[in-house]
Structure 1
Amino acid sequence: MARRILLLIMLVQLIAGLAIARAVAGWWPAGGWPAGLLLALASVLLVRMVISSNNFRMARRAGSAVPAGHALSLGGRLRLFWGEFSSSMGTSSWTMLRPRTTLHIASGEQGLPVLLVHGYGCNGGYWTRLAMRLSAAGKSWLAVDLEPIGAGIDDYAPLIEAALARLCAASGKPRAIVVGHSMGGLAARAHLRRYGDARVAHVITVGAPHHGTALANFGPGLNARQMQRGSAWLAELAASETPQTRALITSLWSHHDNIVAPQESARLRGAGNVEFGGIGHVELGSHPRVLRFILDEINRMDSARIVR
């Protein structure tokens, strides 16, 4: 479903771009279609930049204080914006159009398999960079698609359970590590509430709004309402969790997240919390520092399993 929506958006952008190019070619015959197409492309990029800038503006207005150790210089802020903008463009215009839902089973002793759970409005293609690294590291993995897009987050729990059953059966392992970005982290917690940890060795959430986000007020769907600050669903989820459940979770988050605001909403009491800086929300799923930490955490879990 996410792929079809993205294709529709790209079609609208293409029609608008061609209309701009035709108008420019008629108004400026010397430049012709080449100049028109160049201006059309610039217009599309400008609109996307404005959207990304507005996300940063809203997230900062509702944001938590940035510690001195994570403060950014002007150059750092420019790199933050470019990293998030380019990641958003690449994800929505390329990788999510080619979703990775094929089961990958590594040969030999591959350690714990990994289930990848995307966030709001995305699909398995979001995890392209991490999936490539997992394959290179000899890890088995599966990316699940959460549909329908606007469903309640609890509705995704059976999808995660079915994907875990498939992944564990194919890899020959009793349990897997779950990595969930944004809403996917909440869906992983909802799965634990409903099914327990029989198939889950550990959960790594990446930029998950554990305590809600102000920007969810602008999103359609029941899941967006559940991610609003102070929602009853978030309170019920937190109340259902034991210290043992929280100990299964590691939460990675950024002080410069442009979707989760306040950014410290991603900090989860009783879980392992790891802070990053200078990384936007979408880029968290592809930034080298974050991917390196995720792989190190997976390898640590494998080593602990072998020792036991």
Structure 2
Amino acid sequence: MIAKLQRVLLVLWIAALAGTLVAWPLEWIPGYAAVTLVAALLVGHGFVLAGEFMAMHWTNQRDTAPRAGLRDVVAAWWQESLHAPKVFFWRQPLRHGMWKDHLPAGAPSARGVVLVHGYFCNRGLWNPWLSRLTHARIPFIAVDLAPAFGSIDAYAPVIDAAIVRMRKVTGHPPIVVAHSMGGLAVRRWWIDRAPDDLHHLITLGSPHHGTRLATLGTTQNAQQMRVGSDWLHELQAAEQPATRARVTCVYSHCDNIVFPASTATLSGTRTVHLPGTPHVAMVDHPVAWNLLQEQLRMAPAHPGASDPAPCSRTAP
């Protein structure tokens, strides 16, 4: 559904741009109006992102997370302005099915990987990861969460099916990497399962305690991600404390979607701070990939082995 919707939006954007470029020399519209419209179509997303970054920077001034300097914020805005179109105009609408789930027989990895995307995204978000995992012959499943704008609770069966399927292939609980809302979806699935049903969960910019930006959302899952929502309180109350030792929370003081920054962390987990890294670009940060490789190397060859103790660090 998301891929189709994003393709429709992409076609409308191309049509508007092409129509303006044709109408301009033919003087069907005034020159100043054509220039304004072309500029809005080409760089309008940068202005929207600028609003997000300003709100983020102002909100984070009163947060307990490390503070970002103005130079960090500007650099993160520029990075996201270049990175987000690649994801929302290319990977997700046009290349979401490029890499199929990889479940090779006799794969050398003792663990499989399940990848879970976030809000208004699909599995195409993970394409660079899927390429590397395929070439490394590491088993993986990348899910598509549906319904796109329904309750986060509804995603549990999708995640469960992927994890059950992976366990049948590898014989071991998998590692899950989840971006943004995907981290909440996995936590929701986990409350009905044993702590050791996952080897480890890595969340990238997940709004574990909500995000102020969700106050602008009207969909059910956006409302659930509001800071202080009843849904988040119920999730935390239902969780098993033992699961926290199996979680790594990656967050950033320049996350333009999840802020205040500390809302992307959870007590009792390992936390990794990525300075100057915006929300979508966090997926492609080398530290995120390295954390997965670390877990793959550390994965025990037998069930029941203990995981490393939680710790915190800041990535370079």
**Distance (whole Å) between structure 2 residues aligned to residue 196 and residue 9 of structure 1:** 41
Q: 2:314 aligns to what? A: none
Count of residue pairs the alignment pairs up: 300
2:53 corresponds to: 56
> Counterparts of 1:302 and 1:42 in 2: how far apart (Å)?
54
Equivalent-residue separation in structure 1 for 2:301 and 2:257 (angstroms): 34
Given that 2:111 and 2:170 are in contact with CA atoms closer than 8 Å, whether structure 1 keeps it comes out as no
For the 8 Å contact 1:204–1:251, the answer to whether it is kept is: yes
Q: Distance in 2 between matches of 1:68 and 1:154?
A: 29
How much has 1:300 moved relative to structure 2? Answer: 2.4
Gaps of 5+ in 2: 307-316
User: 2:166: which partner in 1?
Assistant: 167
Q: CA RMSD in A?
A: 2.7
Q: Which of the two has greater helix per residue? A: 1
Which runs of no fewer than 5 residues in structure 1 stay unpaired?
none
Report the Cα distance in structure 1 between the residues aligned to 2:39 and 2:177, rounded to whole angstroms. Answer: 36
Offset of 1:201 from its aligned partner?
1.2
Q: Structure 1's 165 and 239: CA in aligned 2 closer, same or farther, altered over 3 A?
A: same
2:139 equivalent in structure 1: 140
> What's the counterpart of residue 223 of structure 2?
225
> Superposition pairs for residues 263-278 of structure 1, below 5 Å?
263-278=261-276
1:41-83 Cα offsets, whole Å, 9 max, x none, are 6442211111111121222232255889764463x44432222
What is the aligned counterpart of 2:83 among 82, 87, 107? 87
Partner SS for 2:24 = helix
Q: Report deviation, 1:194.
A: 2.1
Native 8 Å contact 2:63 2:262 kept in 1: no
What's the counterpart of residue 6 of structure 1?
6
Q: Percent identity?
A: 33
- Number of the residue aligned with 1:151: 150
Normalised to the residue count of structure 2, the TM-score between the two structures is 0.86
Q: Which amino acid aligns with 1:274?
A: V
**In the aligned structure 1, how far is the partner of 2:303 from the partner of 2:5?**
41
Q: Which amino acid aligns with 1:264?
A: S
In structure 2, C-alpha distance between the alignment counterparts of 1:117 and 1:64, rounded to whole Å: 31
Q: Distance in 2 between matches of 1:156 and 1:285?
A: 20
Q: Is the 8 A contact 1:146 1:156 kept in 2?
A: yes
Alpha-carbon deviation of 1:128? 1.1
**1:166-223 residue CA offsets vs partner (Å, 9 max, x unmatched):** 2222x33231111110000000100101233453111111100000001011123111
Do the aligned partners of 2:64 and 2:262 also contact (CA within 8 Å) in 1? no
When normalised by structure 1's length, the TM-score is: 0.88
